[in-house]
């Protein structure tokens, strides 16, 4: 008897569960009525993935169709951490609501990969699909970006092993002996001077002001090393500025570097021995090379290594 009761209970439970089962929409096929195709009638068009050089023309030619529902608007976005709307077209009463084509043209100024999607909205402004497709452009930079280079303060030893000279083109710091062999490529060196006695701790580092200078400076501020036989490179600098955010967010292409740095005063052969000329942690110094290439140096950190030697950790951006 107990066995019959158990079997009957199981059957009832099975019927009950079966009657409550609900089919839910699958996000991977619920928007299949909308299709997007990318064309390439222009030689600059992208249809899937394409690499461009900075300042190239980029063209996105697309057609979007909706099989079952009228489209009220078509949106093109550039995907990033926060998608950015590039184009939004509201269809008029006379427009075809099931098929729409357009062409977007722009310059390649954003370095790196960017993904573009085209999708439709219905009259309730509800998303109805993007055809599960996209195009991606990769813009190669027209600038060099060198990171995490350590530039050491020099000492008074004639044959110092501290790398206190820097070449922007080579992206490397050199000792005095090493720098002699590549003197034509050395853009600047670092040193420090004692801050005045009344200087607040916020305006100095361990009692000093920090500076950089060109080997072609009219008056060399650090004379322990003899540069008389060097081919001295006349790179120019700005005053140090508190613009770490601009270094990160504005200097994103060679063109942007040219526009932004070009508006700065970049005329110094050394940063002065003043409070305004003192390079702090986070300072940015803009520069112009003898070839008229513009760029910036970000002093991410000024500190000591495990041996107690002072150095600046720098990042450099420069136009190609």
What local confidence, expressed as pLDDT, does residue 10 receive? 45
| Interval 69-115: pLDDT, tens | 999 999 999 985 678 999 999 999 999 999 999 999 999 988 889 99
SS3 assignment for the chain: CHHHHHHHHHHHHHHHHHHHCCCCCCCCCCCCCEEEEEECCCCCECCCEEEEECCCEEEEEEEEEECCCCCCEEEEEEECCCCEEEEEEECCCCCCCCEEEEEEEEECCCCEEEEEEEEEECCCCCEEECCCCCEEEEEECCEEEEEEEEEECCCCCCCCCCCCEEECCCCEEECHHHHHHCHHHCCEEEEEEECCCCCCHHHCECCEEEEEECCCCCCCCCCCCCCCCCCCCCCEECCCECCHHHHHHCCCCHHHHHHHHHCCCCCECECCCCCCCCCCCCCEEEEECCCCCEEEEEEEEEEECCCCCEEEEEEEEEEC
Lowest mean pLDDT among 26-30, 124-128, 237-241, 256-260: 26-30
Q: Looking at the domain assignment, is residue 20 inside a domain? A: no
Residues 115 and 222 in one domain: no
Instruction: Note the pLDDT of residue 24.
Output: 52
pLDDT digits 0-9 by tens, 121-169: 999 999 999 999 999 999 998 899 999 999 999 987 655 789 999 999 9
Average pLDDT, the chain: 90
* Range 270-291 average pLDDT: 96
pTM of structure: 0.69
pLDDT, position 27 = 54
Report whether pLDDT(119) > 80.
Answer: yes
Res 23 pLDDT > 70: no
Domain finish residue from 100, 115, 140: 140
Read off the CATH number of the domain in which 113 is found.
2.60.40.10
Question: End of a domain among 108, 140, 172?
Answer: 140
Domain end among 140, 174, 205: 140
pLDDT in tens, 187-206: 999 999 999 999 999 899 99
* pLDDT of the residue at 5: 47
Domain enclosing residue 209, as ranges? 143-319
């Amino acid at each position: 008897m107990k066995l019959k009761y158990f079997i009957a209970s199981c059957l009832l439970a099975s019927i009950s569960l079966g009657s409550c089962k609900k089919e839910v929409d699958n996000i991977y096929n619920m928007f299949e009525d909308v299709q997007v195709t990318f064309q390439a009638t222009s030689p600059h068009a992208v249809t899937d993935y394409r690499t461009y050089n900075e300042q190239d023309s980029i063209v996105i030619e697309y057609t979007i169709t909706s099989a079952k529902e009228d489209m009220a608007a078509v949106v093109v976005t550039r995907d990033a951490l926060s998608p950015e709307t590039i184009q939004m077209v509201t269809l008029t009463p006379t427009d075809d609501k099931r098929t729409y084509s357009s062409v977007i043209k722009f310059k390649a100024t954003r370095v790196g990969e960017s993904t573009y999607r085209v999708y439709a909205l219905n009259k309730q402004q509800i998303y109805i699909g993007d055809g599960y497709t996209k195009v991606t452009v990769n813009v190669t930079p027209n600038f060099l970006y060198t990171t995490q280079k350590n530039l050491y303060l020099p000492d008074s030893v004639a044959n110092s092993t501290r790398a206190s000279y820097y070449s922007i083109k080579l992206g490397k710091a050199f000792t005095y002996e090493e720098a002699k062999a590549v003197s034509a490529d050395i853009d600047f060196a670092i040193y420090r001077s004692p801050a005045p006695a009344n200087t607040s701790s916020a305006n100095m580092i361990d009692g000093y002001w920090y500076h950089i200078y060109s080997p072609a400076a009219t008056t060399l501020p650090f004379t322990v090393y003899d540069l008389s036989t060097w081919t001295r490179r006349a790179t120019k600098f700005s005053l140090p500025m508190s613009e770490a955010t601009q270094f990160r967010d504005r200097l994103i292409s060679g063109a942007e570097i040219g526009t932004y740095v070009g508006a700065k005063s970049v005329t110094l052969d050394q940063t002065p021995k003043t409070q305004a000329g003192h390079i702090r942690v986070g300072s940015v110094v803009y520069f112009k090379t003898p070839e008229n290439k513009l760029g910036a140096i970000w002093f991410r950190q000024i500190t000591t290594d495990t041996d107690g030697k002072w150095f600046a950790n720098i990042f450099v951006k420069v136009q190609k």
